[in-house]
Chain A
Amino acid sequence: MILSDETIDALETIQSSYSDVTFTTSVIVAGCQSCSNSCSGCEGSCGGACQNGSNLQWD
Chain B
Amino acid sequence: MEDNSKKNWFSPSICLTHACNLNCVYCYQHHDHENRMTYETAQKAIDWIFNNTPEDAEGVTINFLGGEPLLEFDLIKHIYDYVKAKKQSKKYTFFASTNGTVLSEDMKSWFKSHLNEFTLGLSLDGCRETHNKNRSNSYDQIDFDFFLENYPNQSVKMTLSQDSLYTLAQDIISIHEKGFRNISGVNLAEGDLDWSNEEYIVELSSQLAKIEEFYLKNPDIPINQMLDRKLAFCEANELPKKWCGVGTNAQFIDTDGTVYPCPFFTPMTFSKEELSEISCFDYEQESNFVDESCYKKCYIYPVCPSCSGTCYVKNHSFSERDKSRCRIQKLITLYAADLIAKKLIMDSNYIPEPFVFNTISSIKKIKELYIKEFPFL
Q: Do A and B bind?
A: yes
- Using CB atoms, name the residue of chain A closest to B93: A33
Query: A27–B233 Cα gap in the complex (Å)?
Result: 10
Query: Is B244 a contact partner of A52 (Cβ separation < 8 A)?
Result: yes
CB distance from A40 to the nearest CB of B (A): 5
CB contact list, B41-95 vs A, under 8 A: 61, 63, 65, 93, 95
Q: 0/1 per residue, A17-59, Cβ < 8 Å to B?
A: 1111111110111111111111111111111111111111111
Q: Given the interface contacts A37-B65, A40-B263, A47-B184, does A12 sit within 8 Å of B360 by beta carbon?
A: yes
CB contact list, B105-150 vs A, under 8 A: 119, 121
CB distance from B182 to the nearest CB of A (A): 7
Query: A5–B61 Cα gap in the complex (Å)?
Result: 46
B154 close to A (CB within 8 Å) = yes
* Inter-chain contacts of B348 with A (CB < 8 A): 14, 17
Query: Is B237 a contact partner of A22 (Cβ separation < 8 A)?
Result: yes
Query: Is A33 a contact partner of B264 (Cβ separation < 8 A)?
Result: no
Q: For this complex, into which size category does the number of interface residues on chain B fall?
A: 35 or more
Q: Given the interface contacts A11-B363, A54-B228, A58-B352, does A32 sit within 8 Å of B357 by beta carbon?
A: no
Query: Is A40 a contact partner of B371 (Cβ separation < 8 A)?
Result: no
Query: Is A21 a contact partner of B250 (Cβ separation < 8 A)?
Result: no
Query: Is B357 a contact partner of A41 (Cβ separation < 8 A)?
Result: no
Partner of B334, one of A3, A7, A55: A3
Query: A20–B310 Cα gap in the complex (Å)?
Result: 36
Q: Given the interface contacts A12-B360, A14-B356, does A45 sit within 8 Å of B233 by beta carbon?
A: no
Q: Given the interface contacts A30-B7, A33-B4, A54-B303, does A39 sit within 8 Å of B360 by beta carbon?
A: no
Query: Is B244 a contact partner of A46 (Cβ separation < 8 A)?
Result: yes
* Inter-chain contacts of A45 with B (CB < 8 A): 157-158, 184-187, 225
Q: 19 A-B pairs, CB-CB below 8 angstroms?
A: A7-B345, A14-B345, A15-B360, A19-B357, A24-B236, A34-B154, A35-B250, A36-B95, A37-B96, A37-B157, A39-B245, A43-B188, A43-B310, A46-B307, A47-B225, A49-B9, A49-B10, A53-B302, A59-B7
